Amino acid sequence: MFKKVLIANRGEIALRVIRACKELGVETVAVYSEADRESLHVRFADDDVCIGRPPSRDSYLNIPRLIAAAEITGADAIHPGYGFLAENAEFAEKVTASNITFIGPTPDQIRQMGDKAAARKFAKEQGVATVPGSPGPVGSPEEGLELADKLGFPVIIKAAAGGGGKGMRVATDPEQFGQSFTLARQEALAAFNSDEVYIEKYLARPRHIEIQIMGDQYGKVMHLCERDCSVQRRHQKLVEEAPSPAVDQALRQDIGDAAVKLAEAIGYVGAGTIEFLLDADGSFYFMEMNTRIQVEHPVTEMCTNFDLVKEQISVAAGAPLNLVMNGHRLRGHAIECRVNAEDPSRNFQPSPGLITAYHPPGGPGVRVDTHIYAGYTVPPYYDSLLAKVIVHGNTRTEALARMRQALDSFIIEGVTTTIPFLGRVMRHPDFVAGKVDTKFLEREPQLLKDQT
Ligand code: ADP
């Protein structure tokens, strides 16, 4: 096992990794920007290093400073969390070259799956269905338009290097296609330094279903069932649950097998997620792979009783997977709501500032992963995630009731939060019935309005 792990991240995920390390008896190093001096991850780690000014590029994205911080503190491994450098192959390579273990897959695996157009091609070669679309990157608007005409509108243009919903545009008709194509390319270039894009048919009412994967260094891969992340805004997840109300054991086996097949084909090591779109007719299509731990990993932990972060660290240290779940061992139902410092009635405008009062929900089956506290100031520089509320129940109905009571008793004052909005989602008849797809919020704009 490692002696000391540096966490190249901040916020709730830094705390999550620190907790896992403490349970494993591993020391921790927190890194922080000048804006995060008062953060809990700094207080709870054994060691801490300030790595620069608040903007991410000067701190959490600064590779030489992160590696220097690990060297100075004697850390023998780095956990990247999610976001920032978690899927940056160059970072993984430089960490490894400095004789430090990168807690995650190999740089080659990150690269292979990081290019979404290449990953699509790879999935197809492995016999896993992908959404109908371009065989590879599309070079010109003319070529794109010809293909879109063949596929039928609407289509979605996506950045090959994409992530976080950036560089993604839907084109609804041929007239609008050229402009959407150019915009997607420009956005892709600005966000990822690559203007390569590809095209997929834009499915009408898909569900977002993803499979949690874990692989060890000896070629063994298992999956830990699906998560349903269909409640989205602008292609970004807001609520996640496991198991999916739309997946039965047979479908679970099929999607799980497809995911394991892909991960095995690249000898995948560590925690990863393979994302699919599930169409209304039960067909599922590979969309992309995320080569890291995800924000929504706790719903899987709650209904498999398996600590994904501890396992991620153990596997990186060379431990073998000692059980293979592959869709079994599910118990009950888990739901996660992402509580953000945002105002849904104002287009989810961020609401940074001082938290004046804080009281988290509790009780049986309620888990809150957060880094905030009364007196904490939410800085304007990073994402606006304040807390994740995760509940577990013996049934979906019990989990839903638990989530409603948890949200209703969650007090955060001083900043505007998405708590009331999430409470409305948890009471919406379609969500209660488990009948939502990725366009649910588009159809229900009244959910965004402040009703108090
Ligand atoms: P990112 O990597 O930026 O997160 P993804 O490729 O994972 O982007 O897609 C994010 C979301 O966009 C999906 O969960 C889904 O809601 C929507 N989406 C992506 N591709 C399609 C498609 N072909 N048809 C319909 N919706 C799509």
**pLDDT tens digit sequence for 236-280:** 999 999 999 999 999 999 999 999 999 999 999 999 999 999 999
User: Does residue 164 have a pLDDT over 90?
Assistant: no
Phi and psi torsions of 436, nearest 5°: -120, 160
Choose one of 235, 239, 240, 284 to mutate for the ligand 1 pocket test, by most ligand atoms within 8 angstroms of C-beta. Answer: 235
Q: Measured in angstroms, how far is the CA atom of residue 103 from the centroid of ligand 1?
A: 27
**Domain range 4-94, CATH architecture:** 3-Layer(aba) Sandwich (3.40)
Sorted by sequence, the CB contacts under 8 Å of residue 58 that are 6+ apart come out as 33, 52
Atom of ligand 1 minimally distant from the CA of 285 = 23
User: Does residue 361 have a pLDDT over 90?
Assistant: yes
Q: Where exactly does CATH 3.30.470.20 map onto the chain?
A: 207-448
Q: Where exactly does CATH 3.30.1490.20 map onto the chain?
A: 132-201
Cα separation, 109 vs 132, whole angstroms: 24
pLDDT tens-place string over residues 116-161 = 999 999 999 999 999 999 999 999 999 999 999 999 999 999 999 9
Q: Measured in angstroms, how far is the CA atom of residue 250 from the centroid of ligand 1?
A: 24
pLDDT for residue 327 = 76
pLDDT for residue 165 = 86
Confidence category of residue 322, pLDDT binned at 50, 70, 90 = confident
Q: Where exactly does CATH 3.40.50.20 map onto the chain?
A: 4-94
Nearest CA to ligand 1 atom 2: 163
pLDDT tens-place string over residues 86-105 = 999 999 999 999 999 999 99
Nearest CA to ligand 1 atom 15: 235
Helices then strands, each counted (H, E), the chain: 15, 22
Q: Measured in angstroms, how far is the CA atom of residue 261 from the centroid of ligand 1?
A: 22
Ligand 1: lining residues by beta carbon, under 6 Å: 131, 156, 158, 162-165, 168, 200-203, 206, 208, 232, 235, 275, 277, 287-288, 438
Q: Which residues pair with 47 in a beta bridge?
A: 29
> Percent of the chain scored above 90 by pLDDT?
95
Q: Measured in angstroms, how far is the CA atom of residue 264 from the centroid of ligand 1?
A: 24
Atom of ligand 1 minimally distant from the CA of 237 = 14
pTM for the whole structure = 0.97
Question: For the structural domain made of 132-201, what CATH number should be given?
Answer: 3.30.1490.20
Catalytic site positions:
292
What is 207-448's CATH number, 3.30.980.20, 1.10.3720.10, 3.40.50.300, 3.30.470.20? 3.30.470.20
Q: Measured in angstroms, how far is the CA atom of residue 209 from the centroid of ligand 1?
A: 11
CA-based Rg of the chain, rounded to a whole angstrom?
A: 21
Element (H, E) at 153: none
3-state secondary structure of 27: strand
Cα separation, 108 vs 15, whole angstroms: 28
Contact assessment for residue 389 and residue 339, using Cβ atoms and an 8 Å cutoff: yes
Nearest CA to ligand 1 atom 21: 202
- DSSP strands (E only) in 153-307: 155-163, 166-171, 197-201, 207-215, 221-233, 236-242, 270-278, 284-290
